[in-house]
Structure 1
Amino acid sequence: MRLLILGGTEFAGRAVAEAALARGWQVTVFHRGRHAPPEGAAVLHGDRTAPDGLRALARGEWDAVVDTWSWAPSAVRDAARLLAGRAERYAYVSSGSVYRYPSPAGHDEDWPVVDGSPDAGDVDYAEAKRGGELAALDSFGDRALLVRAGLILGPGENVGRLPWWLGRIARGGPVLAPGPRDLGLQYIDVRDLAEWTLDALGAGLGGPYNLVSPPGHTTMGELLEACVRVTGSGAELRWTDPGRILAAGIEPWSDLPVWVPPGELYDVLHMGDASKAVAAGLRCRPVAATVADTWAWLQRIGGRAPQRPDRPPLGLDREREEELLGRSASTDTNVNIK
C-alpha cells in the first residue's frame, strides 16, 4: 500500500506512520518540518495554512491518505480536493466531539452531530472536526473513512493526560485518587487506533466509526494501580468521593485528567457504543500495556512529555491536592469508594 499521511510526526499521525512502515507499506509524510519524521518514511514539506502550502502534493498517487488535522476545516477541504483524483481512499481522524451534546449512554454513529462547514476557518473543536468530516465526504464520498476517536492514550501522547498521572504517581506519597475506584473508563490506545485505521483502509471501509474501547474496558482503579506498579513509587492512592472533589473546586478532565464523575458528561465521554468498530476488527490491548509502554517511552525521552502548543497543560497542582487530602484526613472521611 502507498500511504500518504498529512502530519505523521506526532502522536496519532506518527503511530499510523510507524504501524504502516512495520507492515512494509510505502509511507510518505507531509509536514512542516518541525519534528523528525519516522525512519523509513519519504518526506514532503509544506504548511497547509500558508498560501500555496500544498505545492509539494501537486504530484504523486497513493492508495490511501490519513489526515489528523484538528483546526480550520478549509485545510482539510483544500487537501482532499487536491488529492481526490490521485488517491483511492481518505481517512480523516475525527472525534466523538462531533456528536450533539449531551449524547446519552450507548450513543452510536447515528446520534445527531453538530453543524459544520468544510469552508470554515477557525471554529471551535467540535465544529472543526465536523467540518473536516464534511470536507472529506465532499471530495471522496463513500471512499472517506471517518475515524471518530474517543480519548486517545499511549506512547507519544502530547496532550498530557496519562503522562501527568504517571509523573504524579512517580513522585510517590499520598495521591488524590478520584472515585469511584470501579468507575469504568473508555479510551483508545493510539497504536490500536493506528492498526484499526490501516486495516479499515485495506478493507475499503467508509463512513463513520466510533473508535474507542467498549465501555468499561478498564476502570479508574486499574488505570492508577497500573501507574503505581510501573513507576515503582509506592504511592498511596487515596480514593476520594466525587462530591468532595467537586466541592473543592477541582475540575474533572482538566485538573484530574481522564476522570469525570458519573453523570451527563461521563455518558458523553465514557459510554459510547463501539460495537461497529469492534465488528470491523477493533482489538484493544489491556490498560496495563498502555500504561507500561507510555512509562517506558517517557523514560526514553528523559521523563518529560512533549506538550501541544494549542492545548493547556493539565493536572492538579500539588498545593491544592495536599489541601484536599489534609482536609479529608482530618475529618476521617477519606475512604475507599467501591
Structure 2
Amino acid sequence: MNNDRRRFLKTSLLGGAAVAAGCTPEAATEAEAKAEAARPMSILILGGTGFIGPHMVREALRRGHEVSLFNRGRTNSELFPDLKLFKGDRNSGLQSLEGGKWDVVVDNSGYVPRQVEDSARLLSSVVSHYLYVSTLSVYAVSPAPITEASPLATMEDESGEEVTGETYGPMKALCEQRVMAMLGADRTTVLRPTYICGPGDRTDRYTYWPVRTMRGGEMLWPGTPTDDIQIIDVRDFANFTVDCLEQKIVGTFNTVTPMRSFKMGDLLQDSMAVTGADMTPVWVDKEFISENEVAEGGGLPIWEHPDGEYAALSSVDGSRATAAGLKNRPTRETARDTLSWWKNLPADRSDKLRAGLSADKEAELLRSWHEKNA
C-alpha cells in the first residue's frame, strides 16, 4: 500500500470516527486537518540560511519534520551541517533537485519570474504544495486599507530581470502569478509580509529604533506618536509558514501586525522599556521631513510618510491571515529579543547600523529643527 493510500485511509477513518461520535462535518474536517498536521513531512526550502530561512528551519525541525535546503552554499554556510543540502544557483540551473521528491516546498529566494517559473515547473510534479514568500511591495499605489484583492504593481517589460527599487514589487507579483499558473490555486500559498524584524535581521530597519534609543540623548522621531506602522516578527512569520504547510492552508495572505494596532508611539515606548535609556524624543513633523528629504535612502525605516506614495503600506488588512491562524507576539518581546541579539553581534557588524540616520545627519537635522522652532 503506498503512502498516499495510507494517508487517505488514516484521515478518512479519523474523520469518520469524529462524525460517528456526534461531531459536525466541520469538526470532522478539523480532525482530519489536525491528523494531517501531525504527520512528519519532507520540506524543501529554497534558500534557508539568510534571515527568515533559519527560523523556518528550526521551527520545522522542532515540530518533527525533515528539512532539506537548496542554495549556493555561500550565505551562513556553517548553519545546519546535518541537513541535506542540494547545492545550486537558480540562475544557472536546478540540476541538483532533479529526481528528488518532497511533500512541500518553501520558496524564500525567488525574485526573478523566470527563475521562479523554472523551479515551479520542475517541482510541480514532485511536491503537493508550493509556498511562495512574496512581499507587500507587490501592491500598486492604492488607497488604504490594502487587502489581498488590491491592485498589483506592473512593469512594461515583463522579461526584465534586474531587481531595483522600481522593479522589485512588480517582479515579485509576476513570480506569484508564475507559481499559481504552474501549481494551481489549490496547491499554492502566497505570503505577503510587511517589514520582517527580529533576531537575525540583516537590514536593521526595525533594529535601528531600539539600538538608537539605547544611545540616549535627543533622538529624532518622525511624524506623530499616533502614526500607524506595521511589522511582523520573523518567528511569528516562520510559525505561520509551518502552520500553512502542516494544514495545507492555501491562498494569498498579508502577514502583518493587526491594522492600526501598532503606532510610532508604541515603538518608542517599546524601545524605552527594553533599553532603560535616558533618551529624549523630538517629534519632527511631516512637513519638515519632506522639506529636508529625511526619509530618503532609508533614513526613517518602518515609518511611511502619511502623505507619501506608500502611506497605504501602514494600513494593510491582515485579518485573513489572522483568521487562518497567524499569531503576533507582543511587540515589546520583539524589541527585547532584537536588542539582545544585537548586543551579542561581533563588533565589525554592530559598529554601524545599515539603516536609519547617521549620528551626524541626525544632529544636523535636530539643530535645524530647533532653529526653525526657536
TM-score by length of 2: 0.80
Gaps of 5+ in 1: 307-311, 334-338
CA contact (8 A) 1:29 1:37 kept: no
Amino acid at match of 2:80: P
Q: Could you say which residue in structure 2 is the equivalent of 1:274?
A: 318
Match of 1:127 among 170, 173, 191: 170
Range with greater deviation from structure 2 (251-260 or 136-145): 251-260
Q: Distance in 2 between matches of 1:257 and 1:304?
A: 22
Percent identical pairs in the alignment equals 36
Instruction: Measure how far apart 1:215 and its partner are.
Output: 1.2
Instruction: Measure how far apart 1:180 and its partner are.
Output: 0.5
Q: Could you say which residue in structure 2 is the equivalent of 1:248?
A: 292
Q: Could you say which residue in structure 1 is the equivalent of 2:9?
A: none
Q: Could you say which residue in structure 1 is the equivalent of 2:253?
A: 209
Instruction: Measure how far apart 1:120 and its partner are.
Output: 5.0
Amino acid at match of 2:56: V
Q: Could you say which residue in structure 1 is the equivalent of 2:330?
A: 286
CA contact (8 A) 1:181 1:220 kept: yes
Q: Distance in 2 between matches of 1:120 and 1:81?
A: 20
Instruction: Measure how far apart 1:274 and its partner are.
Output: 0.9
Say yes or no: does 1:80 pair with 2:142.
no
Q: Distance in 2 between matches of 1:92 and 1:303?
A: 35
Mark the structure with the bigger radius of gyration: 2
Q: Distance in 1 between matches of 2:175 and 2:158?
A: 6
Say yes or no: does 1:325 pair with 2:366.
yes
Range with greater deviation from structure 2 (324-333 or 251-260): 324-333
Match of 1:38 among 59, 70, 80: 80
Q: Could you say which residue in structure 1 is the equivalent of 2:20?
A: none
Instruction: Measure how far apart 1:313 and its partner are.
Output: 4.1
Instruction: Measure how far apart 1:207 and its partner are.
Output: 2.2
Q: Distance in 1 between matches of 2:326 and 2:348?
A: 30
Instruction: Measure how far apart 1:40 and its partner are.
Output: 4.8
| Structure 1 residues 3-42: aligned runs within 5 Å | 3-34=43-74, 35=76, 36-38=78-80, 40-42=82-84
Instruction: Measure how far apart 1:164 and its partner are.
Output: 2.3
Q: Could you say which residue in structure 1 is the equivalent of 2:37?
A: none
Q: Distance in 1 between matches of 2:357 and 2:143?
A: 28
Q: Alpha-carbon deviations, 1:94-134, whole Å to 9, x = none?
A: 1111122x222122111122336986533510122012112
| Structure 1 residues 1-338: aligned runs within 5 Å | 1-34=41-74, 35=76, 36-38=78-80, 40-50=82-92, 52=93, 54-100=94-140, 102-115=141-154, 121-123=161-163, 124-142=167-185, 143-251=187-295, 254-265=298-309, 267-302=311-346, 313-332=354-373
Q: Distance in 1 between matches of 2:82 and 2:210?
A: 31
- Compare relative contact order (CA 8 Å, sep 6+) and give the higher one, 1 or 2: 1
Q: Distance in 2 between matches of 1:268 and 1:220?
A: 15
CA contact (8 A) 1:70 1:125 kept: no
CA contact (8 A) 1:76 1:118 kept: no
Instruction: Measure how far apart 1:280 and its partner are.
Output: 0.5
Report the structure, 1 or 2, having the larger helix content. 2
Instruction: Measure how far apart 1:252 and its partner are.
Output: 5.7
- CA 1:272–1:252: 2 relative to 1, 3 Å: farther
CA contact (8 A) 1:122 1:128 kept: no
- CA 1:268–1:252: 2 relative to 1, 3 Å: farther
CA contact (8 A) 1:161 1:314 kept: yes
TM-score by length of 1: 0.89
Q: Alpha-carbon deviations, 1:133-189, whole Å to 9, x = none?
A: 122112211201111111211111112202222332222211111130122211211
